[in-house]
A and B are shown apart, each in its own frame.
Chain A
């Protein structure tokens, strides 16, 4: 059954308030296809009935479920490749040199989804800088969606997921077969820490990251939200830290305090005038 306009408007307004995700007119189909399995699973006769229930009760659990269902969690191991190459070849060597006295590194994966990105970071570190085992390395993954975080924490991936972008040598080294699935080995898992976090709510403790991966999430937000988040990132990241955005995202025309640092056809962002030595 088609989604009625007023229900669509109600849901999109609520989702925008809760998560900043913008669902413009024309996304009715997306909303419908994401919400109808949820309605069915929770025993509603239709999306309409589910939305009706939400209107009447404002029930928080239902609200969160709807928001979760409307997040896009698409991700893959070594997505776009270049960011991880840049991390390995340039950023980590520089940071390791600068932080050699404190022996401390913090990395924040700010829209971790099902974990492929954070484990890619872990593999990059273990593979190329094994001595960082002796350092205090904090690798934090956060996401608004509890379900994807749980999956990230479990670290169990299907054949389809490991078929995407994961080098066979990494599969061999860092995974073990678990039935028909593939499981991240505990050693790699133990490098990570996960927490539920909404980027448009107070951030709590994300520390002072040296590197932030905030890829393919700003793209869902409106301009003001992007500006606000980029401003907050500036305040928490190390003055000589690095920010990665998705391939289709930029700080340009949003925040003039970032400078792009290119690498091959990719790149990341640093803070202007603060490239402290």
Chain B
């Protein structure tokens, strides 16, 4: 299963990539929303995207809005992965079309649990 990690921090991408690799996922990365859209157009098989909120050029909230405009990505799951922890932000992300919301910092176990909520259980492991 292919997962896209969108985060402007290479350290964070590294950490998430490590977790996902251990779960048996293929990983592609992007450092902001704009790059993510390009990455997606050449990686049509991405099933889940981990999306950071605050990034330069195009932030995660805008990315989610963009992706949700495109019917081609209807089946792609979007998970906001962020240090934003206010209720208003959670609501905003879900209303924009995020399927899940994970607050930083987090553990691999939390990733597994969130993936299960996205209906991805057998795929990882």
A residues whose Cβ falls under 8 Å from a Cβ of B: 76, 78, 81, 159, 162-165, 167-169, 171-172, 175-177, 180
Q: Which residues of B contact A162 (CB under 8 A)?
A: 103
**How many B residues have CB within 8 A of the partner chain?**
20
Assembled-state Cα–Cα distance A162/B98 (Å): 17
Assembled-state Cα–Cα distance A167/B117 (Å): 7
Q: Which residues of A contact B113 (CB under 8 A)?
A: 76, 78, 164-165
Q: Which residues of A contact B23 (CB under 8 A)?
A: none
In the complex, what's the smallest C-beta–C-beta distance from A176 to chain B, in angstroms? 7
In the complex, what's the smallest C-beta–C-beta distance from A139 to chain B, in angstroms? 23
Knowing that A163-B110, A167-B117, A172-B87 are A-B contacts, what are 16 other residue pairs whose CB atoms are under 8 Å apart, sorted by A's residue number? A76-B113, A78-B117, A159-B103, A163-B102, A163-B103, A164-B110, A165-B113, A165-B116, A165-B117, A168-B90, A168-B94, A168-B101, A171-B101, A172-B94, A177-B86, A177-B87
Assembled-state Cα–Cα distance A78/B106 (Å): 17
Q: Which residues of B contact A164 (CB under 8 A)?
A: 109-110, 113
Query: Would you call B15 an interface residue if the criterion is a C-beta within 8 Å of the partner chain's C-beta atoms?
Result: no
Nearest neighbor of B119 in chain A, beta-carbon distance: A81
Query: Would you call B10 an interface residue if the criterion is a C-beta within 8 Å of the partner chain's C-beta atoms?
Result: no
Assembled-state Cα–Cα distance A172/B106 (Å): 19
Q: Which residues of A contact B114 (CB under 8 A)?
A: 165
Could you list 14 A-B pairs, sorted by A, with CB under 8 Å? A78-B113, A81-B117, A162-B103, A163-B102, A163-B106, A164-B109, A164-B110, A164-B113, A165-B114, A168-B90, A168-B93, A171-B90, A172-B91, A172-B94
Q: Which residues of B contact A78 (CB under 8 A)?
A: 113, 117
In the complex, what's the smallest C-beta–C-beta distance from A277 to chain B, in angstroms? 34
Nearest neighbor of A167 in chain B, beta-carbon distance: B117
Query: Would you call B47 an interface residue if the criterion is a C-beta within 8 Å of the partner chain's C-beta atoms?
Result: no
Q: Which residues of A contact B90 (CB under 8 A)?
A: 168, 171-172
Assembled-state Cα–Cα distance A162/B87 (Å): 12
Assembled-state Cα–Cα distance A164/B102 (Å): 9
Contact bitstring B73-112, A, C-beta under 8 A = 1, else 0: 0000000000001110011011000111111001001100
Contact bitstring B30-72, A, C-beta under 8 A = 1, else 0: 0000000000000000000000000000000000000000000
In the complex, what's the smallest C-beta–C-beta distance from A124 to chain B, in angstroms? 14
Could you tell me if B87 and A176 are in contact, using CB atoms closer than 8 angstroms?
yes
Between B90, B93, B106, the greatest number of chain A beta carbons within 10 A of the residue's beta carbon is seen for B90
Assembled-state Cα–Cα distance A167/B86 (Å): 16
Assembled-state Cα–Cα distance A61/B102 (Å): 40
Assembled-state Cα–Cα distance A93/B88 (Å): 34
Nearest neighbor of B80 in chain A, beta-carbon distance: A168
Q: Which residues of B contact A172 (CB under 8 A)?
A: 87, 90-91, 94
In order of increasing CB-CB distance, the 6 nearest A-B pairs are A168-B101, A165-B113, A177-B87, A163-B110, A167-B117, A163-B103
